[in-house]
Structure 1
Amino acid sequence: MKNSILFGLAVALIVLSVLQYRSCSREKSLTSVINMKNDSIRIWQDDASRWHGEALTAQVTKADLQQFFAMEVEQIRKDFDVKLKNVTAYMQATTDTRDTVLMKTDSTTKIIIQSPSGDTAKFQYTDQWSRFDAVLTPKQMQLSYLVRDSVSFVTAYKRARLFAPQQLTLQGISYNPNTRISGIRNITITPPVKRFSAGPYIGYGWTGSAWAPSIGVSIQYSLLKF
């Protein structure tokens, strides 16, 4: 009788722990969504004049993705040849490139101005990150341009301040000093927990009359995974 009561109490504690764990996981997911939607991008330049941008990341389930990010889901379906069930993350970044060009030739700059006739002039400017070609006539100007850039992103946990909880962030860097990262939006999708499994096991459990070690092969359903 005493063993049965202890077994019942153990089962009840396990069930309560599982329910509490699932509630905390759901709350954590919703908190990350709220924090990301309320967050503003942080932009700064490092000592090498490269632009950085950083913002919080939301960690959601597939169901939460469709509930809280309907616009992003629609964009994924419209713009990408993938199935939504196979998507594991969505990242969007916006940039703007601006500069004032000083027309001075050096080892990385090339300027050509030609005027073979009185009616037409050609202009070309080239540096490490851009190229501009222009043809000017009395009636119009044709401008062709190319802007190069290289952008890298890293996802990492960071603390906003000492002893604050860690939050998942996405930080990007533009290696073109004239290109600024002006917006970041990042969503990671947590995979569903696979609770059924099959295989050998070694454990310690209730045999019906006493607690004892056991070994064998079983099909298992995990109430709680770490």
Structure 2
Amino acid sequence: MRNQLIKIQWVVIAALLILGIFKVHALKRDRDLSQTALAKEQQSATFWKDETGKARAEVTAVKTEKQIAKEVYESEIDSLRKQNIGIGRNGKGLNSVTNVTTETRDSVILKTVYDTLVVNNTIKVNETLQYSDKWTQFRYDPKTNGLNYSYTDSLSIVNFDKKQGFLKPRVTTVQVVSHNPNSTITGLTQFEVEHKPKRMQFGLQAGYGITNNGLSPYAGVGLTIRIW
């Protein structure tokens, strides 16, 4: 009878412990959800032109677990999936997302170009207005009022751990550089998905725990619950 009471006592203690773990997990999840939503709202990039005239932008990344990212960044993840980007349902396989917007402005002088063509023994002269450099190409045909153009930009996106100061932790930072001198970076956001081990896992265990004999060494198959 005494042994049965001891077993019941340990079962109750184990059940209360498991319930406590789930409660702690729920509280931590709510806290992480609020912190991530706030970090997303307050995420603000810095924009500037360096000494060579290149546009730069920098932002501190928002890092969050997959389950939190599915809620806070639900619309962004759904948009990516609709674009047939190779991520699974609810963002499965997603590591990070960086959104960059740029604006290109320039003033150019179009040059008149004459193209001579011979068609059925008849010489035809086609007049167009054109401009071309490393980044921009224009071709305007007055006869058709048609304009063909193209812009080229080159972006370097660097993800690094930035020092905050003496004894302060480094923070994951994203910096973008536009190599087109006529382009300006107007927007930058970024978030990363941390892939942590599953919270509950079955597997072989060996250690010291609750058995039929109370607290004692044991080996066998058990359930592991990760608290943090």
Tell me the TM-score range normalised by the shorter chain. Answer: 0.5 to 0.7
Where structure 2 has 5 or more consecutive residues not aligned to the other structure, the ranges are: 1-15, 117-124
List aligned pairs for 1:80-99, cutoff 5 A: 80-82=84-86, 83-85=88-90, 86-88=92-94, 89-99=96-106
Structure 1 residues 152 and 206: alpha-carbon distance in aligned structure 2, compared to 1, 3 A threshold: same
Give how far 1:220 is off: 6.0
Kindly, what percent of the aligned residue pairs are identical? 22
Aligned partner of residue 172 in structure 1, secondary structure: strand
Question: What is the alpha-carbon distance in structure 2 between the residues aligned to residue 19 and residue 159 of structure 1?
Answer: 35
Q: How many residues align?
A: 211
Map 1:1-226; keep pairs closer than 5 Å: 27=31, 30-82=34-86, 83-85=88-90, 86-88=92-94, 89-101=96-108, 103=109, 112-115=111-114, 121-137=127-143, 141-158=145-162, 166-195=170-199, 221-224=224-227
SS of the aligned residue for 1:133 comes to strand
1:33–1:166 distance in 2 versus 1, CA, 3 Å:
farther
8 Å Cα contact 2:205/2:220 also seen in 1: yes
Instruction: Tell me, in whole angstroms, the C-alpha distance in 1 between the residues paired with 2:70 and 2:39.
Output: 18
8 Å CA contact 2:49–2:55 kept in 1: the answer is yes
Following superposition, the deviation at residue 53 of structure 1 comes to 1.1
In structure 2, the CA distance between the partners of 1:45 and 1:203, relative to structure 1 (3 Å rule), is farther
TM norm structure 1? 0.66
Structure 1 portions without partners, runs of 5+:
1-11, 104-110
Larger radius of gyration between Structure 1 and Structure 2: 2
TM-score (norm 2): 0.65
Task: Decide whether the 8 Å contact of 2:205 with 2:222 is kept in 1.
Answer: no
Distance 1:95 1:159 in 2: 27
What secondary structure does 1:64 align onto?
Answer: helix
Retained in 2: the 8 A contact 1:41–1:182? no
- The RMSD of aligned alpha carbons is 4.2
In 1, the alpha carbon distance for the partners of 2:72 and 2:211 equals 47
**Displacement, 1:120?**
6.0
**Structure 1 residue 81: deviation in Å?**
4.4
**Judging changes above 3 Å, is the alpha-carbon distance between structure 1 residues 181 and 160 closer, same or farther for their aligned structure 2 residues?**
farther
CA apart distance, 1:24? 5.8
Distance (Å, rounded) in 2 between the aligned partners of 1:220 and 1:116: 79
Q: Tell me how far apart the structure 2 counterparts of residues 29 and 164 of structure 1 sit (CA, whole Å).
A: 24
